[in-house]
Structure 1
């Protein structure tokens, strides 16, 4: 890592040899076919990554530009994207005029650049010094993906993790080594609820109505809140309709998978208003990755329905009213039989999200958004013992989130823009696993300023103040720098702080898995519940780590990131990012006791110090006009400093390790410690994407994940060592091809996921080979 930092420093020093040049500017106006200015059009200048938004008249200006040739990209929702080369000459300051054509089939053709203005959230999710990514609708279609987890697991720095200890449905998203509880998942700028043991199961979210996915990595909690220490994933659905159109799609494939979608959208009232509606039905028989399972599936079968509606109406030249609702259900029945206690597991989920907002765009450039948001997630699970016929209640809860927020944004000049916001969130959880109704309330205020000091230097600074009714107040600042010494090279650096309070589960959960017998106790409930089990004679032993259980403290983090983007030649782009997250009071799940039945008891403790550090590298190569190759790699170190200190000082919980080769305890060494469980040291991917003018597209994708620690297998020493159980490293191969016909009205698709049928019983959510065929018809004039 030190070598990489040295390389970055040397590169920076070398670029300073460039002499200052006379700089020019680019001025223009974006209009439609009737010469009417298009406000909000996104203007992107590559390779500088300079982005501005056209004003109410469609005018824009980008200054402080070096002399040379640039690639100009202009996009606006509802219009066909515009791309051309422009020459920047300090002696030529004439205004250019760009006329955009209305998109004939916006469901297919809308192009989103690497920056945009989102009416659902005035915070610019992508124009940030933090590492960021956009996954477009086009890219999702090329992958042939059906659920959100399938899309995200193929992105650099992201992994879908399986948590057998918390049940076969407990899968979640890991970002840069952080568990899924540290990544905020949002739909149209609002957070989702409904986590199973801290994990938000992304397989319950269909991608059928997703316009794009925005990803920010790093200490985003400065603006987004305590669940965003690792970053943010924002799912953006269809909006800004300009013409009546529709879509019907059907997919069928392995495991009796059926995915059916109907979409329709239309403007009304002379295009002052618009409405969009989408319905999706999805079912699967599930799949099994465990050879010891006699009957049933490790990934349960389910069927689900999802309905999404959006509506907008322009009240006047300033104000627009927006409505958004989403309702989804999922029903699952899974018969399980390992040869001992056959049972039936039935689970029902209902997920409701709704919001109403007023967006105001004033003539002086100020934008306001006032919004109320409600989400309700309900989950019910029951087990039936097939031997006795007895029905046993499982995990069942209802979670509410009420959130009100006011945002304001203002571009004071081409050099300075400010975004601020304030609001409150009230969360309530009713669960059979908790004693009584639990509530949490949080009040917040935040602000961020983007200042372009010169044409080459841009600063971003912000802060967020949170007041939590249980854990008090905290201020989290952040600061970022973007430096563009030459147009082909951009350096980034950022530092930010984070603050995360314990969640309901970590505090109050009292849960026993009926099938496997393990128990999870929240830290607030541990003392009482463990005494009940002791009095009942059910405790075999309590581990020394249990002495660390107490009142959980909020986690604090400081995140650093630095990197650069280099466009060596027009067809090759290199992104490098180095990150380091220093965490205090890290909350971790630990086994704290063993029952007389040899089943495990878990609870939650604060780890004094931990760090997550690594490097991400991405390469994008346009090999030919038709072939694009993307490759990504992540190196990750996830380390508990307490383990390292204990080994170094030869004292404490981690000073000894059980060596299976000598069948005895010995002194621990640094090389014995592999790192935190469920985290791979190496992850990589490569994508080959081919597009032919005749309407044929194809993608071939390879994903690799190196081995990672799963659980202790010899004697408990509270850290993953080389004698414990690991998930072996593996490759996954995926293929998708698509052909459009009838002037892009009809498209046919064939997808093959996990071509070589890789399975592992320690990865219950990893499906085997899946072959899927699909047909889509688009209705437009």
Structure 2
């Protein structure tokens, strides 16, 4: 259905903003929940240090980034990946995928136990203070599996006796037919010795309209994208106690409820395995729900030492229905592909971190992590299959000030995976796989030279690892794969050299070069046999040897008192040194540029442009790739009064037909209008 928004209503909302000011008043940095950050001690820097990147609350507002996946697309070295048949939007970081760069909320791991991924389009940003990304060289205090880095979503912490904001928004296609709406509320109070924060959000999309340049196929006509809806609701509650100036204790609860459709394949590729056109899947997720309860504390033991704890319980509920056809009405189990799938996963664990200042020039931190992952799944009418892993990590990180300007950071972790249970039900047979233990040792070192009070140069080397997920070890790939319970650890040595500095009071530059040498990378291998489904069989094996190198450049310049220009460029060169398989989902070139103009004290204009070169979508077929594309976005905002901001804008201004994954095309030209009240 279409939302009942008249052209007059939307046009009026747009006109209110045509004359405009930077979206919302920048958030105070003290609104950041510092207990949720992962710090490298003693370097004189705050996250992100040592080559990392950060999206601030101001940038989330300025560029209207309502989901985490869209927010991360602002940063160098990070590219959005498409949903594909699962309609899961994720990112790559310097070519590492979402399983290799895990996601945390306030330092708590939240990736799905089964496959190690998380659909970043399901995570809204309304309740966040910042997003911090570590690339290549991530603190060992994050725990295991950070082979390519870490993404940390840091929530808000109130600083006033009463504060908050209320926002509403609408979306439409370029015919001004309403197709989406959003509402968010954040309320907080800080009463000195205690504080409380509440965040509520609702984001609903009825679907979207394709570009006029889209060429229709049998599974997708022109106009509205089929089965492209989603609804996401979230509540985030935090209560904290601060008995003195050093100690803090916080209990946090997050509940997300989502549902989504998966647009069918709309390309024209031929399946090389059988010589037939690629068959669309007709999938819907009536439930994509996640619930987290976590406790974080910091207690000063003396003026020079502290102990920090994190305890958590995380639950993931997933329902997937694969229908017979595009009517999305029937599920005939006698056929090969229709099914109703149920996942009920949960994770519990925690970590303890101890830090002490050994001297004026030396700071030591040690941490112990324990994480228990349980995956339970079944198709309708089948018995439940269960898999369980325990992952532990012991880490040490030492920061030594060699001189007033030069810091040496050394760290190491010993990670261990204990497989407790592994089951798979297939063709009427329940298989109990043999379980084993795996381990990895991960040393790293970095030099940081403080070029001034505003910048630093750095050189780092890190040996990182990742354990295979439950899915990679035990999945039968919907009848196309042979499980491999003997799959082992993936490893990489990551090198980076960079600088971040203010050249003048108005110009800041960031530059980095990096090289990643990956071994034992997990790749699908064709076995030369036919699976019971009639498809060629694959198996996940540790055969990959990959090199990944590139550069990142960033520039921000206040050209005048009212005009700011900025942007970043990423070049990525990945080579598969082990076989002819293509490396997928990350383009060689990505460019992002923006301009912010304060036309008057009440009116601001923000324009941005993005370019991505082509990327392969299938490791065995060079003809299946998403072509390069350019996008232009614009936004205008108007400060109606001190606390009320009206804004409107357009995404994909030039109505480009583009895709992150071949055959899965994104939205054409679309408009939005928002109102935000901040107090």
Report Cα offsets for 1:364-412 as digits up to 9, x if no partner: 1322212211111110112333689345424421221111211122345
Instruction: State the partner residue of 1:41.
Output: none
Report Cα offsets for 1:13-61 as digits up to 9, x if no partner: xxxxxxxxxxxxxxxxxxxxxxxxxxxxxxxxxxxxxxxxxxxxxxxxx
* Richer in helix (by share): 1
- Pairing of 1:307-346 with structure 2 (within 5 A): 307-315=235-243, 319-332=247-260, 345-346=284-285
Instruction: Decide whether aligned partners of structure 1 residues 561 and 294 sit closer, same or farther in structure 2, where only a CA change above 3 A counts.
Output: closer
Q: Distance in 1 between matches of 2:471 and 2:404?
A: 48
Instruction: State the partner residue of 2:651.
Output: 753
Q: Distance in 1 between matches of 2:295 and 2:455?
A: 42
Q: Distance in 2 between matches of 1:584 and 1:171?
A: 26
Unpaired segments of 5 or more residues in structure 2? 1-23, 174-178, 267-276, 333-337, 419-435
Report Cα offsets for 1:40-97 as digits up to 9, x if no partner: xxxxxxxxxxxxxxxxxxxxxxxxxxxxxxxxxxxxxxxxxxxxxxxxxxxxxxxxxx
Instruction: State the partner residue of 2:120.
Output: 202
Secondary structure of 2:102's counterpart equals strand
Instruction: State the partner residue of 2:343.
Output: 397
Instruction: State the partner residue of 2:440.
Output: 474
The Cα of 1:521 is off from its aligned counterpart by 4.6
Instruction: Decide whether aligned partners of structure 1 residues 568 and 238 sit closer, same or farther in structure 2, where only a CA change above 3 A counts.
Output: closer
Q: Distance in 1 between matches of 2:353 and 2:519?
A: 31
Q: Distance in 2 between matches of 1:616 and 1:410?
A: 35
- Pairing of 1:407-486 with structure 2 (within 5 A): 407-412=353-358, 415-432=361-378, 436-469=385-418, 470-484=436-450
Instruction: Decide whether aligned partners of structure 1 residues 281 and 607 sit closer, same or farther in structure 2, where only a CA change above 3 A counts.
Output: same
Instruction: Decide whether aligned partners of structure 1 residues 373 and 489 sit closer, same or farther in structure 2, where only a CA change above 3 A counts.
Output: closer
Instruction: Decide whether aligned partners of structure 1 residues 137 and 484 sit closer, same or farther in structure 2, where only a CA change above 3 A counts.
Output: closer
Instruction: State the partner residue of 1:522.
Output: 483
Q: Distance in 1 between matches of 2:264 and 2:438?
A: 45
Report Cα offsets for 1:172-217 as digits up to 9, x if no partner: 1111011221111111111112378654211101111111111111
Query: 1:462, 1:479 within 8 Å by CA — same for their partners in 2?
Result: yes
Matched, 1:610 2:546: yes
The Cα of 1:558 is off from its aligned counterpart by 0.8
Instruction: State the partner residue of 1:662.
Output: none
Instruction: State the partner residue of 1:98.
Output: none
Matched, 1:709 2:609: no
The Cα of 1:280 is off from its aligned counterpart by 0.7
Q: Distance in 1 between matches of 2:294 and 2:555?
A: 39
Matched, 1:283 2:204: yes
Instruction: Decide whether aligned partners of structure 1 residues 141 and 615 sit closer, same or farther in structure 2, where only a CA change above 3 A counts.
Output: same
Matched, 1:257 2:175: no
Instruction: State the partner residue of 1:14.
Output: none
Residue 267 (structure 1) aligned to one of 181, 186, 190:
190
Instruction: State the partner residue of 1:583.
Output: 518
The Cα of 1:566 is off from its aligned counterpart by 4.5
Instruction: State the partner residue of 2:293.
Output: 354
Query: 1:142, 1:698 within 8 Å by CA — same for their partners in 2?
Result: no
Query: 2:33, 2:155 within 8 Å by CA — same for their partners in 1?
Result: no
The Cα of 1:475 is off from its aligned counterpart by 2.0
| Larger CA deviation: 477-486 vs 147-156 | 477-486
Query: 2:516, 2:549 within 8 Å by CA — same for their partners in 1?
Result: yes
Unpaired segments of 5 or more residues in structure 1? 1-106, 513-517, 525-550, 644-653, 655-672, 713-717
Instruction: State the partner residue of 1:505.
Output: 471
Instruction: Decide whether aligned partners of structure 1 residues 473 and 748 sit closer, same or farther in structure 2, where only a CA change above 3 A counts.
Output: same
Query: 1:173, 1:199 within 8 Å by CA — same for their partners in 2?
Result: no
Query: 1:129, 1:494 within 8 Å by CA — same for their partners in 2?
Result: no
- Structure 1 vs Structure 2 CA RMSD: 3.1
Instruction: Decide whether aligned partners of structure 1 residues 380 and 489 sit closer, same or farther in structure 2, where only a CA change above 3 A counts.
Output: closer
Q: Distance in 2 between matches of 1:337 and 1:642?
A: 30
Query: 2:106, 2:154 within 8 Å by CA — same for their partners in 1?
Result: yes
Matched, 1:632 2:579: no
Q: Distance in 2 between matches of 1:679 and 1:278?
A: 34
Instruction: State the partner residue of 2:36.
Output: 120
Matched, 1:678 2:585: yes
Residue 322 (structure 2) aligned to one of 383, 394, 397:
383
Instruction: State the partner residue of 1:370.
Output: 309
Report Cα offsets for 1:242-265 as digits up to 9, x if no partner: 220232110001261111012211
Query: 1:565, 1:576 within 8 Å by CA — same for their partners in 2?
Result: yes
Instruction: State the partner residue of 1:300.
Output: 228
TM-score, normalised with respect to structure 2: 0.81
Instruction: State the partner residue of 1:694.
Output: 601
The Cα of 1:567 is off from its aligned counterpart by 3.5
Q: Distance in 2 between matches of 1:478 and 1:735?
A: 42
| Larger CA deviation: 134-143 vs 480-489 | 480-489
Larger relative CO (CA 8 A, sep 6+): 1 or 2? 2
Instruction: State the partner residue of 2:136.
Output: 218
Report Cα offsets for 1:256-298 as digits up to 9, x if no partner: 1111012211234xx2111111111111022365732247846
Q: Distance in 2 between matches of 1:187 and 1:375?
A: 11
Q: Distance in 2 between matches of 1:585 and 1:355?
A: 34
Q: Distance in 1 between matches of 2:561 and 2:227?
A: 41
Q: Distance in 2 between matches of 1:760 and 1:732?
A: 9
Secondary structure of 1:119's counterpart equals helix
Q: Distance in 2 between matches of 1:778 and 1:112?
A: 16
Query: 1:221, 1:497 within 8 Å by CA — same for their partners in 2?
Result: no
| Larger CA deviation: 618-627 vs 477-486 | 477-486
The Cα of 1:315 is off from its aligned counterpart by 4.0
Query: 2:140, 2:397 within 8 Å by CA — same for their partners in 1?
Result: no
TM-score, normalised with respect to structure 1: 0.71
Residue 557 (structure 1) aligned to one of 478, 487, 492:
492
Secondary structure of 1:375's counterpart equals strand
| Larger CA deviation: 189-198 vs 141-150 | 189-198
How many residue pairs were aligned?
599
Residue 135 (structure 1) aligned to one of 49, 55, 62:
55
Q: Distance in 1 between matches of 2:181 and 2:61?
A: 16
Instruction: State the partner residue of 2:19.
Output: none
Query: 1:372, 1:403 within 8 Å by CA — same for their partners in 2?
Result: yes
The Cα of 1:423 is off from its aligned counterpart by 2.6
Q: Distance in 2 between matches of 1:764 and 1:343?
A: 13
Q: Distance in 2 between matches of 1:287 and 1:250?
A: 19
Q: Distance in 2 between matches of 1:238 and 1:678?
A: 32
Instruction: Decide whether aligned partners of structure 1 residues 341 and 186 sit closer, same or farther in structure 2, where only a CA change above 3 A counts.
Output: closer
Instruction: Decide whether aligned partners of structure 1 residues 363 and 690 sit closer, same or farther in structure 2, where only a CA change above 3 A counts.
Output: farther
The Cα of 1:352 is off from its aligned counterpart by 0.3
Query: 1:344, 1:385 within 8 Å by CA — same for their partners in 2?
Result: no
